[in-house]
Chains A and B, each alone.
Chain A
Amino acid sequence: MEQVFQIHEAEVDGTPVISVQGEIDVATAPQLRECIHGVIANGSRTVVLDLLGVTFLDSTALGVLVGGLKRCRELGGEFHVVVSDARIRKIFEITGLDKVFPMAESIQGVNVSAP
């Protein structure tokens, strides 16, 4: 059964964590963009994006992530991505973005150096 798209914000050790569930595509990516922009506008320069619950991701979603990365870097911060699903990781690999984003397989595995 298809998972409903959901975004949840939390904070782990002072760093905002945005957790997404479901499919991120051209229809849902704008909600994620708005959430990321909101977190940064509230004063965070580093963001952790938890994609552990994501079942599908397209180029629109990648564009939103790259936009978030650019914003965080402009502020001297970081944009971390948490992915464990091989299918989702493959999309990062074929676009070369696995070399651009700091990536971890779990929230605990994220190593924030600029909180």
Chain B
Amino acid sequence: MIEDPQPEPTDAFADGGRVLLVFPARGDLVVLARLVTSAISARAGYDIEELEDLRLAVGELCLLALQGSDARHGELQLEFVVSSEVIDISCTLGGAAPAPAGGNADGVDSDQLSEQILEALVDEYGREQQDGSVRSWLRKRRKGPLA
């Protein structure tokens, strides 16, 4: 079996780039967001530690967007905007109704945990509601020059 080699850090996004990923708003598909984030971050020259931080942070972005919504009929749209020094990622949940009232199965404030994780891993993040959609976003600057 031939394994795919890890992508070498490149300046593939040196002139900037934009990637859109749209998928049904299902928890089992959030892994797609993490996979695409890994691929884009590696090609944009982020090191392995930054890449792992971004992978975790994007999962939390999706969770923040999904939180409080009945997303069974909605879709998540992730937009990656990459420049030479910064990656901006936004996650928009569209087409979902508010979730029916109900207790959290674990009695834990999941939003707070997500925000603690984002606070530690990225430079800026936020969440806003607009025209019936929920949008969460993050910005992370690259630590050093391209390898």
A residues with a Cβ closer than 8 A to B are 23, 25-27, 33, 56, 58-60, 62-64, 66-67, 70, 87, 91, 94-96
A-B contact pairs, 11 of them (CB 8 A): A26-B27, A26-B59, A27-B28, A59-B63, A59-B114, A63-B106, A66-B106, A67-B108, A94-B116, A94-B117, A95-B117
CB closest residue in chain B, given A1: B3
Q: Which of B13-55 contact A (CB under 8 A)?
A: 27-28, 30-31, 34, 52, 55
CB closest residue in chain A, given B66: A26
Q: Collect the chain A residues with CB atoms within 8 Å of residue B121's CB.
A: 94
Chain B residues bordering chain A, tally (CB within 8 A):
26
Give Cα A80–Cα B54 distance, bound, in whole angstroms: 28
Q: A25-B31, A27-B27, A87-B52 are in contact. Are A60 and B110 (CB under 8 A)?
A: yes
B62-103 interface bits toward A, Cβ cutoff 8 Å, 1 = contact, 0 = none = 110010000000000000000000000000000000000000
Q: Which of B28, B52, B55, B63 contacts A60 (CB 8 A)?
A: B63
* B114 with A25: CB separation less than 8 A: no
Let me know if B147 is at the binding interface, CB within 8 A: no
B residues with a Cβ closer than 8 A to A are 27-28, 30-31, 34, 52, 55-56, 59-60, 62-63, 66, 104-108, 110, 113-114, 116-117, 119-121
Give Cα A102–Cα B108 distance, bound, in whole angstroms: 18
Q: A23-B31, A26-B27, A94-B121 are in contact. Are A59 and B110 (CB under 8 A)?
A: yes
Q: Which of A27, A64, A94 contacts B30 (CB 8 A)?
A: A27
Q: Collect the chain A residues with CB atoms within 8 Å of residue B31's CB.
A: 23, 25, 27
* A64 with B106: CB separation less than 8 A: yes
